[in-house]
Amino acid sequence: MTITSPHLGSPSAAWTDARLLYALEEVVETELNRHLKVAKDWMPHEYVPWSDARNFPGLFEDGEAWGKEQSKVTEIGRIALVVNLLTEDNLPSYHHEIAALFGRDGAWGTWVHRWTAEEGRHGIVMRDYLLASRAVDPDKLEAFRMAHMNEGFESDNRHSMLHTVAYVAFQELATRVSHRNTGHQSGDPVCDRMLARIATDENLHMVFYRNLLKAAFELAPDLTMSAVRDVVVNFRMPGHGMPGFERAAAQMAIGEVYNMRIHHDDVMQPVLRHLKVLEMDGLGPEGLQAQEELGFFMGGLDAEASKFDEKLAARKARMAARAAG
C-alpha cells in the first residue's frame, strides 16, 4: 500500500516497518517521558502476606502438603490467578517479540526495557502471593509453567510492527480488566489489592500504546485502520497456548472475570471510542473498507455478547432455584 506522507519527503512512499519506526520515534520519546512521570515504582514484597507462609514438603522436615482448604481465594479466583500468572510468566518470549520488532536503540529500546522491567514485577508479586498464601497447588502451578514455556510463544502479529502496536493497545487493557476482575472475584482483600496495583500498571501501558496508535492513524490512516481491523477480528489473548486454556477461559467467562460482554464493552469499545476509529474520515478506499468491516464485526460481537448474557442469566436463575429448593 502507498500513501502520501509529508514525513518521508516523497509524494507517494510505501510505509515499511523501518519507516514507521523512524516516523514514530519522537512520539515514543514523548510518551516514554510522560509515562516515567506518572508511573510509580512499587515494591512487590510489600503486597505479599509473608506471615501466612510455611514450608512445603521437600527439603524441610516440617513441610506441609498443599490442600484446597488452605486457600483463601474462591474457586474462580484460583483458576483465573493461574491463567493470569502463566500469561505473565511468558515475559521472556514477549520481550523477544517486541525487541525484535521495535529494536533496542533510542526511545523505542528504552521503552522495551522499561516495559519488560515493569511487567517483571507482576510475575514476581503474583507468584510470591500464591505461594505464601497457599492460594493454589504449587506443584501443579510449576508443572503448568514448565509446559507453557516449553511450548514457547509466537505472536499472531509478529509480521508487522503496526499490527503489534494495535494489538497491544487492546491486549494491555484486556490484561488490566482480567486482573481487576480476578481481584474482585477472589474473595481475598489482599489478593484484590495486589491485582489492583498490577492493573494500574497495565492501564498505563495501554495508554502508551493507545497514544502511539493515535499517532499512527495520523501518519498512515488507511494502513492503521486495516491493522486495527485485522487485530480486532482475530484477537486472541497471549495465554491461548497454555495447558487447559479453553476450559479455564470458559470458567472465567461464567465467573464474570473475562467474557464476551466484558471483551466488547470494557476492552474493544473503549479504545475504538477514544480514538474515534469508527467515525474517522479522510480515509482512502482500503481504509474505508477496513472501517466498514470493523463496524460490522463489532455489531456482530455485541449480538454474540447479548446471547451470552442471556445464557448466563438463565444459568444464574437455575442455580438460584436449586439453592432455594
**Angle at 236 (CA atoms; ends 234, 237), nearest 5 degrees:** 160
- Residue at 268: amino acid letter: M
| Helix boundaries (H) for the chain | 17-38, 75-89, 91-102, 106-132, 138-151, 161-186, 189-219, 221-233, 245-254, 260-262, 269-274, 285-324
pLDDT at 178: 95
Q: Is 97 annotated as a binding residue?
A: no
Three cell numbers at 263? Answer: 471483551
Phi, psi dihedrals of residue 11, rounded to the nearest 5°: -65, -25
**69 known member of a binding site:** no
- Give the residue-averaged pLDDT of 251-273: 95
**pTM attached to this predicted model:** 0.90
204 pLDDT above the threshold of 90: yes
Which pLDDT value is given to residue 81?
95
How far is the C-alpha of 138 from the C-alpha of 66, rounded, in Å? Answer: 7
Task: Name the E strands within 106-199.
Answer: none
| Mean of the per-residue pLDDT values of the chain | 90
| Residue located via cell numbers 516449553 | 150
**Residues of the chain above pLDDT 90, percent:** 72
118 assigned ligand-binding residue: no
Q: Taking a C-beta distance cutoff of 8 angstroms, is the pair 77, 187 a contact? A: yes
Q: Identify which has the larger pLDDT, 230 or 7.
A: 230
Q: Which residue has the cell 482480567?
A: 178
Q: Using N-to-C axis directions, what is the helix angle for 245-254 and 75-89, rounded to 10°?
A: 130
Position 2 confidence tier, pLDDT thresholds 50, 70, 90: very low
pLDDT at 5 over 70: no
- Strand blocks (E) in the chain: 2-5, 10-14
Cβ proximity of 135 and 77 under 8 Å: yes
pLDDT at res. 148: 85
Q: What residues pair up with 13 in beta bridges, in sequence order?
A: 3
| Virtual torsion, Cα 28, 9, 228, 96, nearest 10 deg | -50
Task: Establish whether 35 is an annotated binding residue.
Answer: no
Band (pLDDT 50/70/90 cuts) for residue 11 is very low
Residue pair 62/55 in contact (Cβ under 8 Å)? The answer is yes
Alpha-carbon distance 92 to 64, whole Å?
Answer: 32
Q: For residues 241 and 148, is the Cβ–Cβ distance under 8 A?
A: yes
pLDDT digits (tens, 9 = 90+) for 134-147: 999 999 999 989 98
Which is the CATH superfamily of the domain at 17-48+66-324? Ribonucleotide Reductase, subunit A (1.10.620.20)
- Side-chain half-sphere CA neighbours of 140 within 13 A: 16
Q: Which of 48, 66, 194 is nearest to 134 (CA)?
A: 66
Greatest mean pLDDT among 78-82, 236-240, 319-323: 78-82
Q: Any binding-site annotation on 293?
A: no
- According to the annotation, is 202 in a ligand binding site? yes
What number is the average pLDDT over the span 242-267?
Answer: 91
Show me where the domains of the chain are located.
17-48+66-324
